[in-house]
Chain A
Amino acid sequence: MTKDDLKQALQPIARGLFGKQGTNRYQRPVFTSYPLETMLADLTAIPPLAWYPYVFSREPLNGKFNDGQRREWMEKAWKCGEEYAEKMSAEFGTENPVLLANAMKMKVEYPTLPEKTDRVLFAEFRDPDNIRIYMDAVKKADRLLSDDRVREILTDKLNVSKLLLAHELFHYVEEKYKDEIYTQQEKIRLWSLGPVHNDSTIYALGEIAAMGFAAKLNDLPYAPWVMDVFLVYGYSENEACGLYDEIMTLVGKGGD
């Protein structure tokens, strides 16, 4: 018996004995599969304001709202984002998110953080002036964009990195103008007990306005939530299809 034969014979025993625990066996469901082009064509056809059921489905306080409130807030928040995009580009003399970030003295980082699970993180804003664009997601998206059909649907106006940056820039703007900006002024009363009450801002409004802000700065002809499916697709076709299914169901139902 050669040394290699012996090694090969012992390998299964060693693996059995020294194999890692592997108790983290959380498995995601398998979703219906769709071609990427079909999903993108359907999603880009959804008007921005029609995305509200999906956006509010991620809102922690969603159970407190009725459909009328969601529609109203969607419209106002989107408009707020667009207005601040105009205001900022006028103030700093540019619509380019990279130049805007420089002008606002933001610290922008582009780490390449591999994403492994069902929750894909695209970008982050950390108070007061730090933005992180996770390039692993961006690079995967750029590879998908090299397909002519995908590029045609998403248009040449899409620059994923700039879109993510613009979105996160809004959160900085939101902090800066928090005493007057709509997204921080609209509040809902959660409970009251005599004179004691708890009024809360609505997280989703900031996200909606950030999308409006990003769409305006990038002159995007569709709502940036399309990126949720597109960027996730780079990691997992299955997860992207699941998300697409969920969006189409929610948006198709139109709220309550």
Chain B
Amino acid sequence: MVEFIIGIILLLTFFGLAYYCIKGHNLMIGFLVITIIWTVLPLLGTLFASSDFLAANEVLQYNGVLGNDGLVKKILNNIYQTAPEGWGTTLVNVCWGAWFGRVMMDTGIASTLIRKTVELGGDKPIVTITLLNIVTALIFTAMTGAGPVIAIGVIVLPILMSLGVPKAIALFSFMGSVAAGIYLNPVNFAQYRAFFIQPDQMPDFTLSWYAAHWGYAALIIMLVVTTILTGIFLKKSKTSRAWAAQTRGASTPQKDAPLYTLILPIVPVVLNIALGFSVIGGFVLAGFAGLFLCGRMKGTFKENCQLVNKLYYDGVVDTAPLVGFLLTLPMFNTVATYASPYFTVVLGEVIPTSELVICIVFAVLIFMGLFRGPLTLVGCGAATLGVLSNVASFSVPFLYAIFAIPTITVNIGSCITQSWVAWGLAYTKVESSDFLKLSIPNAYVTGILQYVAVFLMLTGLGAAWYI
């Protein structure tokens, strides 16, 4: 009975967290508070829970909170020290990825790639949009963070608008293709993988394996659906011309990067997927190649060091707002293990254990990935994952994919709470509702097709993929 009451209280705190996230409050503090609550309640609960309940859950067998064998201290250290420390390896990838993004912008490689793409399409908006979507997706297989998205957005969006594409459609199409690229982004992959397993667990679950088994399909589905929907929306809409002004900031326009350097944005991903080359190694190699080939390393040794350092600084600043949140999440992910037996008491009979049913339920509830809701990993979804993965048993790649869809397709690509979407709305002066009218259908069509792909490609995996 006590375990049931604690389970209900934990469930209420989960809904409280969902409400908190949806209201747009600070995620880091929210998850820190919920981690403390989920530490205190399950541990104290062991003092009053039935002996049957404790006997059935090994994770709670530590002689109660008052036990003097040091296990409680160990659990607390595990939650508040070991878990965030373990995320450090992921953070290193994020920092190097951010530096690489800055290099691609500073050398003019990213902007040249966009301009050359536009020069192929000309005044035919749908041709230009299709080409731009492909190139944008390719660029964001390696670059990530608000800085690079904004840097590319200030090039792409005015171009699309100048071609008469209504601003809401231009914004929706650009944000959709950014999200499509993120499906193969090694930094995002490492980041989300850490939600499910420790970096050293399941070494076979690499970007290469994931890409071949589902990642390519997810990217292609999102890219194709976004582009087709853009075409449909464009056909229904009226073209527009606007008189607007903005400064480019630079009095000397950036020169085009050499054509042969335009391949560099995808080099780290290709090296990683095709050759199993390290992600950071790829970033360093392609980043320095870009700096040298584009003539950015012609200064003195000291000047060159300063440039590399500045780009690193700017890149890390790009990702800084998320770091606090992402370093709090491992604590929450770990504490969910101790809360899960209580959830099982309440939800054990309700939560489906069939992969097909999970796919259908997630596809129907895809809107819950919006507004940092209970399905997105960069929101309250981390809590849902904690509940789901501990109450039922699913393979890691399957779990990864079913949560990647609401996180990437819905939150990153379609939601106004995503930092760069919020920037885009302010930049183009598109009403949130106008953007959502385009992005939500995309989230549903793309999401459903991606869940179909998950069911076809990632269900029924062998025991090696379970933890």
Q: Which of A35-43, A79-87, A110-118 contacts B (4 or more CB under 8 A)?
A: A110-118
Contacts of B245 in A (CB 8 A): 119-120, 122, 227-229, 231-232, 243
Contacts of B201 in A (CB 8 A): none
A19 to B321, CA, bound (A): 14
CB distance from A217 to the nearest CB of B (A): 15
Residues from 404 to 434 in B contacting A, C-beta threshold 8 Å: 417, 419, 422-423, 426-429
A190 to B127, CA, bound (A): 13
Closest to A116 in B: B426
A228 to B245, CA, bound (A): 5
Instruction: Return the contact of A21 from the options B27, B118, B423 (Cβ within 8 A).
Output: B27
Asked if B120 contacts A198 (CB within 8 A), the reply is yes
Asked if B122 contacts A127 (CB within 8 A), the reply is no
Asked if A121 contacts B159 (CB within 8 A), the reply is no
What DSSP secondary structure best describes chain A's contact surface?
mixed
A115 to B466, CA, bound (A): 52
Q: A113-B429, A167-B243, A168-B241 are in contact. Are A191 and B251 (CB under 8 A)?
A: no
Contacts of B238 in A (CB 8 A): 126-128, 130
| A1-41 vs B, Cβ < 8 Å mask (1 yes, 0 no) | 00000000000000011111111111011010000000000
In the complex, whether B16 has a CB less than 8 A from a CB of chain A is no
In the complex, whether A57 has a CB less than 8 A from a CB of chain B is yes
CB distance from A67 to the nearest CB of B (A): 14
Contacts of A123 in B (CB 8 A): 242-243
Asked if B422 contacts A24 (CB within 8 A), the reply is yes
In the complex, whether B213 has a CB less than 8 A from a CB of chain A is no
Q: A57-B253, A203-B163, A246-B251 are in contact. Are A25 and B246 (CB under 8 A)?
A: no
Contacts of A57 in B (CB 8 A): 248, 253
In the complex, whether B116 has a CB less than 8 A from a CB of chain A is yes
CB distance from A180 to the nearest CB of B (A): 17
CB distance from A143 to the nearest CB of B (A): 18
Asked if B162 contacts A243 (CB within 8 A), the reply is no
A124 to B419, CA, bound (A): 27
Asked if A20 contacts B25 (CB within 8 A), the reply is yes
Asked if A243 contacts B243 (CB within 8 A), the reply is no
Instruction: Return the contact of B243 from the options A31, A117, A122 (Cβ within 8 A).
Output: A122
Asked if B417 contacts A21 (CB within 8 A), the reply is yes
In the complex, whether A201 has a CB less than 8 A from a CB of chain B is yes
A31 to B249, CA, bound (A): 8
Asked if A23 contacts B322 (CB within 8 A), the reply is yes
Asked if A63 contacts B29 (CB within 8 A), the reply is no
Residues from 247 to 275 in B contacting A, C-beta threshold 8 Å: 247-253, 256
In the complex, whether A194 has a CB less than 8 A from a CB of chain B is no
Closest to B249 in A: A29
A167 to B245, CA, bound (A): 14
Residues from 88 to 134 in A contacting B, C-beta threshold 8 Å: 113, 115-128, 130
Instruction: Return the contact of B25 from the options A17, A26, A249 (Cβ within 8 A).
Output: A17
Asked if A124 contacts B241 (CB within 8 A), the reply is yes
Q: A23-B419, A123-B243 are in contact. Are A28 and B429 (CB under 8 A)?
A: no
A31 to B250, CA, bound (A): 10
A214 to B119, CA, bound (A): 29
Instruction: Return the contact of B244 from the options A31, A120, A125 (Cβ within 8 A).
Output: A120
A118 to B248, CA, bound (A): 9
Asked if A125 contacts B118 (CB within 8 A), the reply is no
Contacts of A201 in B (CB 8 A): 122-123
A115 to B166, CA, bound (A): 18
In the complex, whether B73 has a CB less than 8 A from a CB of chain A is no
Contacts of B162 in A (CB 8 A): 58-60, 203
In the complex, whether A221 has a CB less than 8 A from a CB of chain B is no
Asked if B25 contacts A120 (CB within 8 A), the reply is no
Contacts of B428 in A (CB 8 A): 119
Asked if A200 contacts B123 (CB within 8 A), the reply is yes
A191 to B127, CA, bound (A): 13
Contacts of A246 in B (CB 8 A): 247-251
Contacts of B242 in A (CB 8 A): 121-125
In the complex, whether B24 has a CB less than 8 A from a CB of chain A is yes
In the complex, whether B296 has a CB less than 8 A from a CB of chain A is no
Q: How many residues of A contact B (CB 8 A)?
A: 65
Asked if A16 contacts B256 (CB within 8 A), the reply is no
CB distance from A144 to the nearest CB of B (A): 15
Q: A118-B247, A119-B246, A201-B123 are in contact. Are A60 and B163 (CB under 8 A)?
A: yes
Contacts of B122 in A (CB 8 A): 61, 188, 190, 198-201
Asked if A25 contacts B247 (CB within 8 A), the reply is no
Contacts of B423 in A (CB 8 A): 24, 26
A24 to B418, CA, bound (A): 9
Contacts of A216 in B (CB 8 A): none
Most B Cβ at <10 Å: residue of A57, A64, A200: A200
CB distance from A220 to the nearest CB of B (A): 14
In the complex, whether B150 has a CB less than 8 A from a CB of chain A is yes
In the complex, whether A164 has a CB less than 8 A from a CB of chain B is yes
Most A Cβ at <10 Å: residue of B27, B245, B419: B245
Residues from 111 to 168 in B contacting A, C-beta threshold 8 Å: 115-116, 118-124, 127, 146, 150, 158-159, 162-164, 166
Asked if B422 contacts A121 (CB within 8 A), the reply is no
Residues from 10 to 62 in B contacting A, C-beta threshold 8 Å: 23-27, 29-30, 33
A199 to B322, CA, bound (A): 45
Contacts of A168 in B (CB 8 A): 241, 243
Residues from 165 to 224 in A contacting B, C-beta threshold 8 Å: 167-168, 171, 188, 190-191, 198-203, 206-207, 210
Contacts of B309 in A (CB 8 A): none
A239 to B251, CA, bound (A): 13
List 5 A–B pairs whose Cβ atoms lie within 8 Å, in order of A's numbering.
A22-B321, A24-B422, A25-B321, A118-B427, A121-B244
Instruction: Rank and list the top 9 A-B pairs by shortest CB-CB distance, nearest first.
Output: A200-B122, A228-B245, A242-B247, A23-B419, A243-B247, A119-B246, A249-B251, A200-B123, A23-B321
B residues with a Cβ closer than 8 A to A are 23-27, 29-30, 33, 115-116, 118-124, 127, 146, 150, 158-159, 162-164, 166, 238-253, 256, 321-322, 417, 419, 422-423, 426-429
Q: Apart from A127-B164, A190-B122, what 16 extra A-B contacts exist at CB < 8 Å?
A: A18-B23, A20-B26, A21-B26, A26-B423, A60-B159, A116-B426, A119-B428, A123-B242, A130-B238, A198-B122, A199-B122, A200-B122, A201-B122, A203-B162, A207-B243, A229-B245
